[in-house]
Structure 1
Amino acid sequence: DLSIAIFSLLVFPGVLLHEASHYLMAKILGVPTGKVSLLPQSIEGNRLRLGYVETGKADILRDALIGMAPLLSGGAFVAYVGIMRLSLLSVWEALALGDLDATLGALSASFNTPDFWLWFYLMVAVSSTMFPSQSDRRAWLPLTLVLALIFGLALFFGAGPWMSVNLLPSLNAALGGVAVVFAISAGVHLVVLLPIWALRKGISKLTGMQVIG
């Protein structure tokens, strides 16, 4: 179908990074891999799958890391493009201060960046496809429960002060980085929200399938 082909081509850079992240993480963790596909396929439930990587059985930690890999790589790419290439962090800071002139100036500087539209397109494609699918998240709940249990036991046995000194600063820094990535991604998607929504709705209406990662 032409509409599916066009949509798949538009988001292909993101799909490529998504599936490559699964594959590389599985290889790094020593988990066997099977078939790899970067072609859109209709699957059960009238859904459109843009790509997949088959992986063997693993423990919940490795399974969770493999499922999380596209979010990590996609987030890193969005942060790199947004901060290093398009200087969107200065736009965000100006907005946070409520300084309209500074915001417009930062936006103008960003638009004048060499190859702005190429980087913007790549960021949209990657940020649109970096979120794990339902199957990617299958190990997240059990892993979260295990980590919560470990954390609770650590607090029970008096490790709270040690964690606040040794772990909390790193955790705060990591969460700050995550916040920046999602702020950039959210800002970009606010700009392209309507076109992407219309495109997905149009494809779903034409094909009768729901588009998934």
Structure 2
Amino acid sequence: MIYFYLLLSLTALYYSGRVLLFQLTHLIHRVGGDRRFLIIIWSLIFLPGTIIHELSHFFMAILVGARTGKIEVFPEFLDTENPDGGVALGSVQTPKLNIIQGVLVGLAPALTGLGLLVWLGSLILQSYNLATYQNLAFQIYLFFTVSNSFFPSRTDLNHAIPAAITAAVCIAIAWLVGVQFSLSISDGVASVSKVILVTILLGTTLNLFISFIFFILRKAINR
């Protein structure tokens, strides 16, 4: 059941990020900004998260023996003539990867991001208890940027989706031939899962709170 709650909380975090983007988009448009201005503002707000995301790809590629090229952490407009054209917020150049390398490199930001969120969550709690509010503000900002930057992009999932389908088929075949699987989890895994769950819910709450602030600002400008 804990895995279901984790999946549900990750879904909530993802869509709360979409709500945040929606509110920021309308706020930027309300003050006269266009799509490119929105992307620049978004990329600046989440720059620390983007750097962590791309460095996760980079170092995992090195660990699995893949070649790497230059790293981009600032937005790159793919069609300079069209303001509504595609944009890449960050990228790491890699050659063609095999399926194992592709899965590990593609999912590296998610693994790194979850670890950082748990660590930052514990720091936030410590700073709050010690009333060190200067540290608290910075830690909350980092938590906010990482929680909205660790999800894999569509490109990141190019290898992960075929691998997941292959694994699902193998598990189904094993189950059909009589292999028994245990779904029980140890107390240690359950405890870690609960910490991750609380951390993700904190990120969702933070996104919704900031979205509400953007909403209030937009309504105030309308008046």
Q: Is the CA contact (8 Å cut-off) linking 2:77 and 2:86 kept in structure 1?
A: yes
**Cα deviations by residue, 1:7-35 (Å, 9 ceiling, x for unpaired):** 43321110110000000111111111122
Which residue in 1 is equivalent to 2:103? 64
Q: TM-score, normalised by structure 2?
A: 0.67
Percent identity reads 29
Q: Which runs of 5+ in 1 are unaligned?
A: 89-107, 200-213
**Cα deviations by residue, 1:161-212 (Å, 9 ceiling, x for unpaired):** xx31xx641696365454334222212212222457899xxxxxxxxxxxxx
CA RMSD of aligned residues (A): 3.1
State the one-letter code of the partner of 2:177.
F
State the one-letter code of the partner of 2:107.
M
CA distance in 1, matches of 2:42, 2:103: 28
State the one-letter code of the partner of 1:169.
I
Query: Aligned pairs, how many?
Result: 175
Matched, 1:182 2:221: no
Which residue in 2 is equivalent to 1:31? 66
CA distance in 2, matches of 1:15, 1:79: 18
Which residue in 1 is equivalent to 2:145? 125
Q: Is the CA contact (8 Å cut-off) linking 1:21 and 1:73 kept in structure 2?
A: yes
When residues 51 and 197 of structure 1 are mapped into structure 2, their CA distance, relative to the original with a 3 A threshold, is: farther
Q: Please point out which of 154, 159, 177 is paired with 1:157.
A: 177
CA distance in 2, matches of 1:180, 1:172: 14
CA distance in 2, matches of 1:194, 1:137: 31
What is the DSSP-based 3-state SS (H/G/I as helix, E as strand, rest coil) of the residue aligned with 1:139? Answer: helix
CA distance in 1, matches of 2:97, 2:68: 11
What is the DSSP-based 3-state SS (H/G/I as helix, E as strand, rest coil) of the residue aligned with 1:79? Answer: helix
When residues 196 and 143 of structure 1 are mapped into structure 2, their CA distance, relative to the original with a 3 A threshold, is: farther
Q: Which runs of 5+ in 2 are unaligned?
A: 1-35, 218-223
Which residue in 2 is equivalent to 1:141? 161
CA distance in 2, matches of 1:75, 1:22: 14
